[in-house]
Amino acid sequence: MHNGRRGTQEKAKDFKKSMLSLIKYCRPYLIPVLISVILALISSILSIIGPDKLRDITNLITNGIVTGINFDKIKEIALFLLTIYVISAILGYIEQYIMAIVTNKFSKQLRKEIIEKINRIPLKYFDKTSYGDILSRVTNDVDTLSMTLNQSLGNLVSSITLLIGSIFMMFITNGIMMLTAVVSSIFGFIFMFIVIGKSQKYFARLQDEIGELNGHIEEMYSGHNVMKAYNGVNDANKTFNEINDQIYNNSRKGNFLSGLMHPFMGFISNFGYVCVCIVGALLTMNNVIDFGVIVAFMLYVRLFTQPLSQIAQAASNLQSCAAASERVFEFLDEEEMLNEDNITKKLKKDNIKGEIIFDHVKFGYDENKLIIKDFNIKVKPGEKIAIVGETGAGKTTMVNLLMKFYEINSGNIYIDGISTKELSRKNIHDLFIMVLQDAWVFEGTIKENIRYNKTNITDKQIEDVCKVVGLHHFIKSLSNGYDTILSDNESLSLGQKQLLTIARGMIKDAPFLILDEATSSVDTRTEELVQKAMDKLTEGRTSFIIAHRLSTIKNADLILMMKDGNIIETGNHEKLLKLNGKYAELYNSQFEKTN
């Protein structure tokens, strides 16, 4: 029971925190929101005046049956009513227009902040969170938040105004009739708060499960070929159906409870009519009130109960808004990478010598479990360093630390004698060419993919690079050549994508080079061509090459054999073979497989 209470308290705390965050993010739009609220208030006040004037018309007609009807006075009141109702409608339109602009600007700003936040969040967050869930927060949750604020805020303000205003007008008209209307409707308030309390948990679960579903769909489609190859369609569909059923159940329960409010409030409204008519008839028979009061109160009851329905609907929508905002602001409050505003040192590419030192580097994705335990190495300018080892040895982790994708636990990495802690990530990234195992291309022309983020590259330079890596002939065979748009209709093989990313790396003029399994997706013949291109690319650059195919690193100046985050053997290819250790064992096993 204690854990359950603790979970409830934590959820209440998170809800309060998300609401405070929502208010903070709404501050820039405070003035237009206040204008919208004022317009809604005025519109509601004008609507409240109507029943009182209708009472006057009723009394004029009732009394006029005996003494004669004053049509001029009725016409005057009717014109007055028409005027205030037209003004009320215009103000309502302006209020909705302002809120539509504000909420769209708000959601635009929120999406912008989320994208900027993504660039400030450390990679370890993405290691534990599915891309689909993040995408759901950017799209589904932000849209839910924007739509709810647009539809509910103005209605909530006008409804509360109508509620309070109608009670006040009923009170000054007749206290007994006011009590009759309020008491008959008080059950609606009680029911509304009970429903809100019951349905909130279902809406909160719903938003979380939508994110989970998006994550599962993203995984299914990104690994569609593997899923089909391993006949995993049934398992994937089973997981999808389980999440989908949970979404259905929570949506059904939440919407069912929220849906009860509208018919119940309709019943309360009709019940109020009946009570007002009965009590009003009794008071009229005793000459306490006139007939016009009954007509006015019937309209007041409508003005009183209608806001209750709107408040109930707004409360229902705000539950979805609360759940969505909790997920959005939870993401925006995630821990960020260390701020680098105070970093003033900068290495210029033209002045780089090319020396890199790993000095007693220790690192673990989990602070209590180190992967890199005590890494030490000095790389001389222009050297080609190959890092080899079994899966999980820490090869890619070392590269990630060098690129400052992760912060080291202790120790230092020096580039030309300057610690990476004293250099910004942007500066470090400018110094490196990086070709990864996962070939990434975006929807755009081949030319744009190769020129990526570089503005001073000519078409001839792109063609020259593609000739070097062996892509030129293939590209020329395409319908639009270098202007061919890469999309679902014009797709490349995995090996061709890898060659394209290698060409992209060659275009970037930087003093350091990282090749992380860059040739893993190409065939043996293409590998020879790429290897020549890589040899040309490494000329004059300090290079780090991670490779499983040991045949591609024979000419490396230094080979580091890693195991469990430590260097266990160092030397060139011939020296390590003579050592007859772990490297020789790994190399011989690959040689046996190829023969």
State phi, psi for 518 to the nearest 5 degrees: -65, -25
**Do 147 and 228 fall into the same domain?**
yes
8-state DSSP, 337: P
**Do 553 and 413 fall into the same domain?**
yes
Could you give the percent of the chain with pLDDT greater than 70? 81
Q: Which of 12, 532, 538, 586 is nearest to 322 (CA)?
A: 12
**Do 263 and 154 fall into the same domain?**
yes
CATH (domain of 170): 1.20.1560.10
pLDDT for 275-285, tens place per residue?
A: 778 888 888 88
What is the spatial distance between Cα 93 and Cα 532, in angstroms, rounded to a whole number?
69
**Do 322 and 360 fall into the same domain?**
no
pLDDT for 368-418, tens place per residue?
A: 778 888 888 888 888 888 888 877 777 888 888 888 888 888 899 999 989
What is the spatial distance between Cα 504 and Cα 514, in angstroms, rounded to a whole number?
13
Asked whether the whole model's pTM tops 0.75, one would answer no
**Do 200 and 268 fall into the same domain?**
yes
DSSP percent split of the chain into helix, strand, coil, nearest 5: 70, 10, 20
By DSSP bridging, strand 418-419 and strand 485-486 are unpaired
In a domain? residue 7: no
Taking residues 539-563, what's their average pLDDT? 82
Q: Are 582 and 564 in contact (CB under 8 A)?
A: no
By DSSP bridging, strand 356-363 and strand 372-379 are antiparallel
Domain count, the chain: 2
**Do 395 and 311 fall into the same domain?**
no
Buried/exposed 427-436: b ≥16 CB within 10 Å, e otherwise: bbebbbbbbb
Average pLDDT, the chain: 77
State phi, psi for 435 to the nearest 5 degrees: -120, 115
CATH (domain of 570): 3.40.50.300
Q: What is the DSSP string of 527-552?
A: HHHHHHHHHHHHTTSEEEEE-S-GGG
In a domain? residue 3: no
**Do 521 and 445 fall into the same domain?**
yes
pLDDT for 433-482, tens place per residue?
A: 888 777 778 788 888 888 887 778 888 888 888 887 778 888 888 888 88
Taking residues 136-160, what's their average pLDDT? 75
**Do 437 and 507 fall into the same domain?**
yes
**Do 319 and 390 fall into the same domain?**
no
pLDDT for 292-327, tens place per residue?
A: 777 777 777 777 777 766 776 676 677 677 777 878
**Do 503 and 395 fall into the same domain?**
yes
In a domain? residue 81: yes
Domain hosting 570: range is 356-594
**Do 377 and 466 fall into the same domain?**
yes
Phi-psi region of 245 (alpha: psi -120 to 50; beta: other; left: phi over 0): alpha
**Do 326 and 360 fall into the same domain?**
no
pLDDT for 70-128, tens place per residue?
A: 677 778 878 888 888 888 888 888 877 887 888 788 888 888 888 888 888 887 787 77
Q: Which band of pLDDT confidence, cut at 50, 70 and 90, is reported for residue 592?
A: low
Q: Which of 1, 3, 19, 2 is nearest to 200 (CA)?
A: 19
